[in-house]
């Protein structure tokens, strides 16, 4: 499979010190790649660096085009949907307005309307709560809203930052089930960040493990699952 996203010697940080110390990884077209690591390892930082939300250097290509100098909104327009850390809900706006913002860059009205309907197919609860202020949604519903909003960008690559965070196991199962469907039905490539490694490895075909800003292990999901370090520190057996 060809690489959709490729990062080479990616360094990034918030102030002068680097949080990411030159990492290399790829996300394959049509696949699901998991980015694992303990709290503070630099997972969120990696996603922010890809989207140009923080200072970064190195080389990042999306579908062969360089994006390491592009502004966030430009990267989004080129086909990256980002479900950020903390979900990024527009709390004061309605659910419908949140969704319309997802489609802000698009001019194909009919396509947007059809995609909106498909989102309601994945997440019927969003349709029920369309006129409600988004701040009144439960955590799980806000996560669904964030995913639907990012998918309305019509992205080639979907970035997910800890979609399981703070949610009840049942809701997490539901969300990961839908993510699997989205990957298959929409052909959206996914890069998912998770602290819950076993959950992420179930969904992913490839994975890599980040420790204090460096990649220490990478490979296919099944190989990673066998890896001693990963097993002992992140899978607990």
Ligand X SMILES: Nc1ncnc2c1ncn2[C@@H]1O[C@H](COP(=O)(O)OP(=O)(O)O)[C@@H](O)[C@H]1O
Binding site for Mg ion (CB under 5 A): 44, 85
- The 8 Å CB, 24+ separation contacts for 218-226 are 218/25, 221/34, 224/34, 224/36, 225/201
Give the pair of three-digit tokens for residue 196: 């819950």
Q: Mask: binding to ligand X, 42-81, rule CB under 6 A, as x and -?
A: xxxx------------------------------------
Question: In this structure, what token pair is assigned to residue 155?
Answer: 């992205």
42 binds, among Mg ion, another protein, ligand X, none (CB under 5 to 8 A by kind): ligand X
The verdict on 41 binding ligand X (CB under 6 A) reads yes
Rounded to 5, what percent of the chain is helix, strand, coil? 40, 30, 30
**Interactions with another protein, residue window 111-170 (CB under 8 A):** 133, 135-139, 149-150, 153, 166
Least separation in angstroms between residue 54's CB and ligand X is 8
**Cα–Cα distance, 154 to 177 (Å, whole number):** 20
CA dist 201 and 214 (Å) reads 19
Among 19, 175, 192, 209, binds ligand X (CB under 6 A): 19
Say whether residue 16 binds ligand X (CB under 6 A).
Answer: no
- Minimum distance of ligand X from residue 199's CB (angstroms): 16
Binding mask 54-93 for another protein (x = CB under 8 A): -----------------xxx--xx----x-x---xxxxxx
Report the run of H or E that residue 199 belongs to, with start and end.
helix 197-203
| Residue 43 or 129 with smaller CB distance to ligand X | 43
The mark string for 29-58 relative to another protein (x by CB under 8 A, - otherwise) is ----------------------x-x-----
DSSP 136-194: GS-HHHHHHHHHHHHHTT--SEEEEE-TTTT--HHHHHHHHHHHHHHHHHS--EEEEEE
SS3 215: strand
User: What residues make contact with another protein under the rule CB under 8 A?
Assistant: 51, 53, 71-73, 76-77, 82, 84, 88-93, 97, 100-102, 104-105, 133, 135-139, 149-150, 153, 166
């Amino acid at each position: 499979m060809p690489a959709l996203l490729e990062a080479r010697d990616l360094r990034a940080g918030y102030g002068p010190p680097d949080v990411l110390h030159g990492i290399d990884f790829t996300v394959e077209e049509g696949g699901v790649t998991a980015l694992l690591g303990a709290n503070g390892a630099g997972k969120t930082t990696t996603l922010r660096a890809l989207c140009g939300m923080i200072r970064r250097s190195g080389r990042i290509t999306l579908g062969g085009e360089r994006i390491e100098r592009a502004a966030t909104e430009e990267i989004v327009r080129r086909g990256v949907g980002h479900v950020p850390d903390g979900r990024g809900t527009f709390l004061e706006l309605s659910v419908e307005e949140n969704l319309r913002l997802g489609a802000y860059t698009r001019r194909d009205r009919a396509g947007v309307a059809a995609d909106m309907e498909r989102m309601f197919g994945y997440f019927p609860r969003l349709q029920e709560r369309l006129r409600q202020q988004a701040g009144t949604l439960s955590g799980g519903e806000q996560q669904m809203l964030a995913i639907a909003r990012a998918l309305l960008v019509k992205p080639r690559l979907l970035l997910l930052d800890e979609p399981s965070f703070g949610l009840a196991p049942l809701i997490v199962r539901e969300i990961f089930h839908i993510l699997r469907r989205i990957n298959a039905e929409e052909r959206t490539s996914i890069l998912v960040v998770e602290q819950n490694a076993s959950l992420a490895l179930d969904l992913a075909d490839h994975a890599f493990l980040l420790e204090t800003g460096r990649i220490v292990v990478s490979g296919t999901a099944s190989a990673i699952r066998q890896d001693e370090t990963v097993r002992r520190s992140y899978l607990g057996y």
